Amino acid sequence: MLEDHKKDYSRERQQFVLVDPKGLVLDSSGTLIPIKKGLILNQLHPFFESLETLQRLQDKKFAFYCVHLQFGNHDLITDIDILRKKEGMFIVIHDLTEHYNSYQAVAQARNESIINEELIVLKNAELEERERFKNLFIQNFSHELRNPLMSSMAFTQILSDTSLSAEQQQLLDVLRDSHVHLKLLLEDTLSISMIASGRLVLKNTIFNLQKMLELLSFTYTTRASAKGLQFNFTPDKKIPVFVEGDRLRLYQVLTNLLDNALKYTEKGSVGLSVGFNQQWANKVHLHFAVTDSGPGIPEDKQSTIFETFSQLASPGKQKGTGLGLALVKGLLVLMDSQIVLQSIPGKGATFSFDLGLKIPLQSELQNHLEIGQAATSRKMGNPGRKYKLLLVEDDERVLTVLFKMLMDANQFYIDVLTDGAMVLETVIQNEYDLILMDINLPNTRGDHITKIIRDFPFKNVKQLPIIGMTAYAYDEHMQAYKEAGMNTVLAKPFDKEELLQTIFSLLRP
Amino acid sequence: MPQASAMQKSKKVVILGHFGVGKTSLIRRFVNNQFSDQYKVTIGVHINKKVVTLSAEDSISMILWDLEGTDSLEQVRDAYLLGTHGVLFVFDVTRPSTFQQLNSDLRIVSKKIPERPLLVVGNKKDLVSEEELNKLLLDHNISHDYLTSAKTGDNVEDLFLNLATLLNNDA
């Protein structure tokens, strides 16, 4: 009985075939494959064409695993043993279709998962490369813009100091306004790029919040009035005077929101309200809201207007770059906040956000105020003294502008160099009070020269105040220049006041 | 006038390469002129056959052993390679992991199957631009014999015909 069952089982799962050296089937048992006595085996399936080769080898047994054999619509996955016998070859075919099919499913899942992972890594690398290229482009582009913008701003300032007619003065004001706008756009573009690449780091300092809000109120009351609009400023009385946060970035957020509100509002009002939520521990939580009575934002556009280069485009009426709100969103995320938009089309819009700002300790505040006073007292230097400066700049236009700015102050003797390689020799042979040096110089970079100067054995050279000037205004660049030994770095474009303030803050009276 | 009977030799060709590079698709395109976008993992070995006519007197029966792709060629079972006459090594031009070790992979192939015609094939060329492809080959210093697309059929026939000629000359 058992033998019968064994035979049945074996017949369904195994086949035994005996072939002579020419591949002629001498005998066959089992029903897996239609192999019959008298057939030529290699004509049944291409697998068996390898038998001829195997016969030439010395081995007595060959084992082939997981061989797919198709006969018509019948697919088998088999292990095949081939043994050398005196009659020829003895072939044992094991049907393992079920076993291998389950293995196939596992292999399928495994390989697909590995390939998908690889493709995701590649896709991410490609996106990162694109992002890197975009940021590099923006960085280089903004660099290229900074030098001409600086010359243009400075020449406008120089021109405004000459005797001009009222009309010329008015035209110059328009030019000055355009410069301010261009400079802001440049800063916004750079900020967006830095946020996207994760390189923007907030710089928290103690600042006078009330003063900043008053400045905004004054600026936008004037601008709103020029457009025939009313500006409503409603600050809560409990807002602290001094807070600790990134003043520049908060200012950037509020000006972008207010600019946007002014831009799209043709009648009615624009407003800024600052509410007091709570004060807890040493943190104050404020609610900022910018409202307008403009056309409002359709519901389907409300989620997309915070994307880069997104605008409410009405044909022929595009205004601005479409960067402002994206920048606001990005900056607020960095500040652990979130922009909220409420708008009913035709009835205006409100952009609001909550912000937690640290309240400085009394000792920190005192320290901050003392530093501020010291800086103010040094602001315009000692009027009775003339200082000797070394100015190193290779851009002819920027050099002319800087030279003119410094000469107009009437407090400096100036030596000029345009080549970085000449700096070391010049500072050894002359006694300077300060070096004003561009970073990207021909032959040697400004930060490299600074590093060498700081390693000099002579105290008078080693400790020379050095101000760097750069059009590469990314935070990490500025940090690297300071680490190289520069006392401070001015980001181009800068104006005369900023230049002189920086110089006098480093000069000994 | 009686025609000269064609002399047909049977030649075993193994197709090697990492998994998912399109080995099975190349064979399907060559043997059946078909293509499917759906990836089905090959386990073990599938064996196909196609007769290639080289001239009026000469044709070759190519026995194509489509081997399971592996992470390492050292893992390929030696039994599958017994009696091999020629080799195709296939990589995927879109997946660096399939050609980053190309030189060491080819060394393993030459060790396992010495002195046999070997062609190196970059498949899936339809998925990248010519510019990207040239940059990729240059960046990774890849020496290849053919760039193919099993999907479009580009260069597939030429590849197998060339291999058949090499096998015929190698006989």
Q: What is chain A's Cα-based Rg?
A: 39
Taking CB atoms and an 8 Å limit, are A111 and B41 in contact across chains?
yes
pLDDT at position B2: 39
> Do B10 and A66 make contact, defined as CB atoms within 8 angstroms?
no
Which one of A68, A103, A107 has the shortest CB-CB distance to B46?
A68
Instruction: Give CA–CA dist A358/A209, Å, rounded.
Output: 11
B156 located within any domain: yes
**Token digits for A215?**
């400045």
Does a structural domain hold residue B42? Answer: yes
B9 lies within 8 A of chain A by CB: no
CATH of the domain at B105: 3.40.50.300
Among residues 22-51 of chain B, which lie with CB inside 8 Å of chain A? 39-41, 43-49
- A66 CB near a chain B CB, below 8 Å? yes
The pair phi, psi for residue A154, each rounded to 5°, is: -70, -40
**CA dist., res. A279 & res. A300, Å (int):** 37
Fold of A205-363: Heat Shock Protein 90 (3.30.565)
Short-list A258, A337, A267, A324, CA closest to A291: A258
CA-based nearest residue to A292, from A213, A347, A235: A347
B contact test, residue of A44, A53, A98, A120 with most B CBs within 10 A: A53
Would you call A239 helix, strand, or coil by DSSP?
A: coil
User: In this predicted structure, what is the pLDDT of residue B171?
Assistant: 62
Please state which CATH number belongs to domain A116-196: 1.10.287.130
Interface contact flag, A122 B82, Cβ < 8 Å: no
CB contact at 8 A, B89 and B118: yes
Q: Dmax over Cα atoms in chain A, in whole Å?
A: 124
Cβ B96–A122 below 8 Å, yes or no?
yes
Peptide bond into A493 cis (omega under 30): yes
Hey, how many other C-beta atoms are within 10 angstroms of the C-beta on A157?
Answer: 19
Cβ contacts (< 8 Å) between B113 and chain A: which residues?
A: none
> Is any Cβ of chain B less than 8 angstroms from the Cβ of A344?
no
CA distance A212 to chain B (A): 52
Residue to test with chain A: of B11, B13, B39, B41, most A Cβ within 10 A = B41
Closest among A312, A329, A308, A332 to A189, alpha carbons compared: A308
What pLDDT, on a 0 to 100 scale, did the predictor assign at position B3?
Answer: 41
The answer to whether A129 faces chain B, any CB pair under 8 Å, is no
Residues in chain A: 509
Domain with CATH 1.10.287.130 in chain A: 116-196
Please give the CATH architecture assigned to the domain spanning A379-506. 3-Layer(aba) Sandwich (3.40)
Q: Chain A contacts of B77, Cβ < 8 Å?
A: 65
- pLDDT of amino acid A373: 66
Residue ranges of chain A that CATH labels 3.40.50.2300: 379-506
Q: Is B51 within a domain? A: yes
- Number of other residues whose CB lies within 10 A of the CB of residue A280: 9
Q: How many domains does chain B have?
A: 1
Instruction: Inspect the interface and report whether the beta carbons of A100 and B39 lie closer than 8 Å.
Output: no
B2 occurs within a structural domain = no
Across chain A, which has 509 residues, the per-10-residue mean pLDDT values are: 74 87 88 86 89 84 93 88 92 93 92 92 87 79 80 84 86 82 80 80 88 88 91 94 91 91 93 93 93 90 73 49 81 94 92 94 82 62 80 88 86 91 89 92 89 86 91 79 93 84 86
Chain B within 8 Å of A371 (Cβ-Cβ)?
A: no
ipTM value for the complex: 0.91
- pTM here is 0.59
DSSP A24: B
Whether residue B1 is contained in a domain is answered as no
Residues of chain A with CATH 3.30.450.20: 2-95
Q: Could you tell me which chain B residue has the CA closest to the CA of A79?
A: B44
Domain span holding position B120: 7-170
Lowest mean pLDDT among A117-126, A296-305, B17-26, B88-97: A296-305
CATH number of the domain located at residue range(s) A2-95 in this protein: 3.30.450.20
For A416, list phi and psi in degrees, rounded to 5: -120, 135
Q: What is the pLDDT of residue B4?
A: 38
The identity of residue B87, as a single letter, is V
